[in-house]
Structure 1
């Protein structure tokens, strides 16, 4: 078959023709023919096809399409976009995209909708929320949002309304490493993968869960600088394929190997004694605990050979401090998520790689950077605020247990919405307002989420599509895509200060609005307009730059502004360059570093390998230790999930271009296991457990442990509005039990399943 552009386009069209529904109310298709109009000159903006939000440059081409490229000013991102980023135009003019407000007619989840105007949508929401507030208190309404720029305005509305219950997706994805970093370092910390000489990876698949800056950094380290990459992961993922060494670790035992590495570093005197003595609290307690965690013990737990753990530990120490144990993102989650992430951080701390090239470092925002420089190198941004915001006395619904206190201000325990609705713990929820979040896919135990949605008095969803979760809303509010809206300036500082901004590239299609405008206008309907004093986005941006119109013009023109020289406080060459650049800079230490200026926002002011604070709110967890967990029954297989390069977990499966690239998620099964069930690749199978049952098809591959099966997240939607995604593949959330990990508040993403050939 000849494969040319004409054939490809014909095939792509055929890929979705058979699954189209009757025209959805409020969709682009319902509008009839539409055209693309907007700037034919490149506009600097920010992608939003995933949560990384890479800087882009986009323009309208011939009134028919949109060109989306990377912003070359953002050098660490390489001036490029990934497959998801390149598909933004496909989302923009997808005929199934909703571009008019809708109200539910019929039962929740039935899929029956009616177009309404914005005024009616706002009035309906205001009437219901104010009634619920009067009857049950403002705290009985939960607000949840995709993190980042989308959450700020919704959560501001929640505070004005009087509810403390605001949640991001943190506990379904990144909260583990965030909470662990808070406990150990006092705040978030970053990876300098691009300068690393030795990288140990526990399933952080940057070659599929792509972050353009970090992914390119790791690629450059491997390809240009000869860095060695060692991967511990139960399946042969893309990052495992690109590694020098891959170990098919038993699911849930990452912490055992990480602690064994720490054991070798300490026992064989490979750790940085000077760094530990100067910056670390609780080392003696930690060293005593890991004494028993030998490589031989770890082998018995994880199936990773002891001799390899010992050798890798020595190689890693030899590359120090320009080496790193990647603290991860998604992984084989267990209830010991907190210990796992702390153990990964501990392996970094022991080689003293903090604020060193190739190790870990803290972001240098303008205020801190300028103090070191002794002059105003970078502008600082103001934060719009309102002095008279209502005082909220009610406690959050996830404050039932103090062990989750590190998460209360970092997204919250998202799944506590289910407990508060179904069990009135600690009190009854009556309404849920959600923005660009899809808990039906990202949260565990889908049936429980459906039960929650049906029990609530009122549900509002703001999104681009009628997602699986939005399908249960009473009112649907259509948000403009990222190509159709302006937003605030965002701080993107790394080793030096940096800012970027999202700007409108195309004219709005249909009757959608940016979420910041939606929540401001809803505030007016709720009689809360006084708490939103800004007129528009221009007003907010001018406030951010303190009315410096030239600065604002520069940011809008370039899209990405970076200031000063990269700085790592304990890296001599970088400090030398910094001091040479800024004559008024703080005087370096005798060793020509800023090592004495390195501090941590912990109770002790040091890195805490053992924490009295943690011991206080989570007894027995002050010191990092191993605890055995039961993730499956004896007659079950481990079930794990992960990201794929062409999709974002729960948001892109209906985007035409990406649906054509991948519309299904085959279940990976080892040949030996498949043989036991007489299963071949492509066979229809059932995968099931006590939580749920799913039907899919098999991919028989040696790239998975015999005791484990795997599927990519985000497939198998069960609402008819997502025509391209509905019923395609296995719905992972329908198989995962409702379990919350201690301290981190994370959902459990590893469980046991059985399989059967259909």
Structure 2
């Protein structure tokens, strides 16, 4: 047995005993004196980063048997062949002496920090036995399965379905859900941004220069530098993207939607919108225009503090730059209960600009099947979808209690519904929780309720790299190997033209860790579900994906990232001309030199829907895009908002040594006027108190924040002792946020009111 406290960690750094589960004892750790050489490829291996959700194409190699050099893959042009600070820190994650490299079993109370290393066989056997006991006693639906969406999460969800549980939940409602649901109800599909070709960009809090997406962040840089695009930022704080903008307007938190609606008002009132586009492609414009009539810039100013004259001027400038202009839909800024209509309001402005399938606007991804139809030939190979037919579970999902969330059932579910279910036992009690690469203690709201939910479980299993704040409450910890230590299936990365990329192993596996796909396959076999896990290795699955075309698979692996044809946007004459010149059998163009007549949307009407019958049916009164008053705080409180920082990924990288050294705390931004009222100076200890929790942090007095608002970067202040580098450092955002779920889209609301005092 080992107790994972600070003293134990310090001892573990030099330990060699088999009973110690800490990564500091493993061969290859740079913290261990006389460690043997690292085994891996000295030649550059094309692969995929996983230090954030962007998953950039990379190239990595072992240098002198001691470290791993990571750079961007030059084949992926939009990424610039570069990596960010997080991407370059993969070697630090690999060698971290605190990374867990053996399966562990809890031997103390949940959260106490007492663990015992065990074998994989013991872990699988005991977990399978307990899962089957819960299934027999309460039903398979009483076990929930959750994961960060993306790499490898489908393997856990296949296990869930095979086990018989319908309750598979991703992190969607804690991050990009508003944008995704809005896009789905308006366009019938996800929409992509062509930021790099924009001449005018409006940003509502989407901070691409801190919440990095290498492709889009570089695209915004190109737009500003090469296209001389104007960047206008609405944000309560002077963020990095605000610092690089042409205009920063410090909007009141939660009022973004009012400004977006007022921009639509101006475009319609002054007839600055693209009428031809609206007439051909849009459904519900007249009632939308009627609704917008009341949302004047003066009305918006009264709510947002953004001057009406600036709203009018910006709307006119935006229209003048159209269609090569956009409001960036973003995906996580100052969430409000009206998150869905805020994102719909943003998309509505873009529709009025007529920027759909135009440079600098929005477009639909062109996967191989679609692209080949336009080309009239098999330009790009189509991937097969090898899989297993798993029977659909019989029970209802736990988030099916309220019909208004029906759109979420097919997307990723309402993650925080676990909290509601534990509190009410409706529609039934939850007894088990299996999760991978997710940390709801940090990313969900109301930490105390998440802790309560974990403590009430009969079984908690966590697959991760570190003992995160959430994993500290698990019964079993299953150590996943890092992205540098594993192969995965081929992924579709199509944008304006088809593209594929693949993750490949760079170094030999360190310690006794395994890729998640293997972990959940082997657990499935132990559960007696072997028939649903036919892929014994990734290479077999890859070959099935490429329809046994070995040459194609070798090409994808050799380059790491392959794209086909030329970029295509259906309403951009220049692109269509280049496309038809490239392919002799290409579909004939329309009279205006575009493929506009082929543009269809996957909605009931086949058009962009400014009014949604689908939403109205599940949530009466919400079919139309409109403003609804929201209240976050009491009169004696300040707004509390959070955001992302460039050197960390939400709550996922704070324990990585290289990145922890760059930033291990999150000082609270406070305006000088507000600080003076409380006698606070930079560096002082301060307390923030909300309706659900209290946190102590350090003050950063700055003019870069509204006087009525305080700000902190998310992902800090962990309260588990295993996270030595970040434990009790900074403000824990989730401990201050009440448990509030936005209507229809199910978003966790990440804005609240707090009281401020000097400690």
- TM-score bracket, shorter-length normalisation: over 0.9
8 Å Cα contact 1:101-1:118 kept in structure 2: yes
8 Å Cα contact 1:20-1:724 kept in structure 2: no
Out of 36, 41, 44, the residue aligned to residue 42 of structure 1 is: 44
| Greater alpha carbon shift after TM alignment, 401-410 vs 474-483 | 401-410
1:595 corresponding residue in structure 2: 596
2:173 corresponding residue in structure 1: 171
1:239 aligns with 2:241: yes
1:453 corresponding residue in structure 2: 454
Alpha-carbon distance in structure 2 between the residues aligned to 1:117 and 1:750: 44
Alpha-carbon distance in structure 2 between the residues aligned to 1:47 and 1:404: 33
Alpha-carbon distance in structure 2 between the residues aligned to 1:526 and 1:505: 32
1:395 corresponding residue in structure 2: 396
Distance 1:557 1:122, change over 3 A: same
RMSD: 1.1
Secondary structure of 1:246's aligned partner: strand
Residue 411 of structure 1 deviates from its aligned partner by 1.2
Which runs of structure 2 are paired with 1:580-729 in the superposition (5 Å)? 580-729=581-730
Secondary structure of 1:406's aligned partner: helix
Alpha-carbon distance in structure 2 between the residues aligned to 1:165 and 1:584: 47
1:410 corresponding residue in structure 2: 411
Alignment deviations for residues 250-283 of structure 1 (CA, whole Å, 9 cap, x no partner): 0000000000000000000000001001110111
| Greater alpha carbon shift after TM alignment, 402-411 vs 183-192 | 402-411
8 Å Cα contact 1:569-1:575 kept in structure 2: yes
1:27 aligns with 2:27: no
Alpha-carbon distance in structure 2 between the residues aligned to 1:494 and 1:86: 25
2:312 corresponding residue in structure 1: 310
Distance 1:717 1:380, change over 3 A: same
Which runs of structure 2 are paired with 1:331-730 in the superposition (5 Å)? 331-387=333-389, 389-730=390-731
Secondary structure of 1:405's aligned partner: helix
| Greater alpha carbon shift after TM alignment, 183-192 vs 30-39 | 30-39
Residue 422 of structure 1 deviates from its aligned partner by 2.5
Secondary structure of 2:59's aligned partner: strand
Alpha-carbon distance in structure 2 between the residues aligned to 1:256 and 1:438: 33
1:749 aligns with 2:738: no
Residue 452 of structure 1 deviates from its aligned partner by 0.3
Out of 85, 94, 97, the residue aligned to residue 95 of structure 1 is: 97
Secondary structure of 1:564's aligned partner: coil
8 Å Cα contact 2:86-2:648 kept in structure 1: yes
Alpha-carbon distance in structure 2 between the residues aligned to 1:552 and 1:443: 40
Alpha-carbon distance in structure 2 between the residues aligned to 1:18 and 1:111: 12
8 Å Cα contact 1:460-1:473 kept in structure 2: yes
Residue 20 of structure 1 deviates from its aligned partner by 5.5
Residue 391 of structure 1 deviates from its aligned partner by 3.1
Residue 19 of structure 1 deviates from its aligned partner by 11
2:17 corresponding residue in structure 1: none
Residue 79 of structure 1 deviates from its aligned partner by 0.2
Alignment deviations for residues 484-515 of structure 1 (CA, whole Å, 9 cap, x no partner): 00000000000000000000000111000000
Residue 21 of structure 1 deviates from its aligned partner by 4.0
Q: Report how many residues are paired.
A: 741
Residue 404 of structure 1 deviates from its aligned partner by 1.1
Alpha-carbon distance in structure 1 between the residues aligned to 2:426 and 2:84: 42
Alpha-carbon distance in structure 1 between the residues aligned to 2:690 and 2:162: 43
1:195 corresponding residue in structure 2: 197
* TM-score, scaled to structure 2: 0.97
Residue 18 of structure 1 deviates from its aligned partner by 10
Residue 410 of structure 1 deviates from its aligned partner by 1.4
Residue 330 of structure 1 deviates from its aligned partner by 1.1
Residue 421 of structure 1 deviates from its aligned partner by 2.0
Alpha-carbon distance in structure 2 between the residues aligned to 1:78 and 1:194: 12
Residue 556 of structure 1 deviates from its aligned partner by 0.5
1:132 corresponding residue in structure 2: 134
Residue 329 of structure 1 deviates from its aligned partner by 1.4
Secondary structure of 1:407's aligned partner: helix
8 Å Cα contact 2:110-2:473 kept in structure 1: yes
Alpha-carbon distance in structure 2 between the residues aligned to 1:521 and 1:670: 54
8 Å Cα contact 1:21-1:723 kept in structure 2: no
Alignment deviations for residues 176-195 of structure 1 (CA, whole Å, 9 cap, x no partner): 10000001000100100000
8 Å Cα contact 1:323-1:359 kept in structure 2: yes
Alpha-carbon distance in structure 2 between the residues aligned to 1:691 and 1:491: 42
Alpha-carbon distance in structure 2 between the residues aligned to 1:405 and 1:252: 25
Alpha-carbon distance in structure 1 between the residues aligned to 2:7 and 2:393: 52
Out of 261, 281, 284, the residue aligned to residue 282 of structure 1 is: 284
8 Å Cα contact 2:675-2:701 kept in structure 1: yes
Alignment deviations for residues 514-565 of structure 1 (CA, whole Å, 9 cap, x no partner): 0000011001100001101112000100010010000000010000000001
Secondary structure of 2:397's aligned partner: coil
8 Å Cα contact 1:565-1:578 kept in structure 2: yes
8 Å Cα contact 2:26-2:510 kept in structure 1: no
Alpha-carbon distance in structure 1 between the residues aligned to 2:269 and 2:391: 55
Alpha-carbon distance in structure 2 between the residues aligned to 1:594 and 1:406: 31
1:256 corresponding residue in structure 2: 258
| Greater alpha carbon shift after TM alignment, 499-508 vs 34-43 | 34-43
Residue 382 of structure 1 deviates from its aligned partner by 1.1
Alpha-carbon distance in structure 2 between the residues aligned to 1:391 and 1:108: 33
Alignment deviations for residues 624-676 of structure 1 (CA, whole Å, 9 cap, x no partner): 00011011111000000000000011111111000000000000000000000
1:120 corresponding residue in structure 2: 122
8 Å Cα contact 1:19-1:724 kept in structure 2: no
Residue 586 of structure 1 deviates from its aligned partner by 1.1
Alignment deviations for residues 444-486 of structure 1 (CA, whole Å, 9 cap, x no partner): 0000000000001000000000000011000000000000000
8 Å Cα contact 2:9-2:22 kept in structure 1: no
Secondary structure of 2:264's aligned partner: helix
Alpha-carbon distance in structure 2 between the residues aligned to 1:571 and 1:402: 40
Alignment deviations for residues 90-146 of structure 1 (CA, whole Å, 9 cap, x no partner): 000100000000000011110000000000000011001000011111111100011
Distance 1:311 1:78, change over 3 A: same
1:159 corresponding residue in structure 2: 161
8 Å Cα contact 1:355-1:570 kept in structure 2: yes
Alpha-carbon distance in structure 1 between the residues aligned to 2:409 and 2:206: 25
2:110 corresponding residue in structure 1: 108
8 Å Cα contact 1:44-1:58 kept in structure 2: yes
Alpha-carbon distance in structure 1 between the residues aligned to 2:402 and 2:284: 25
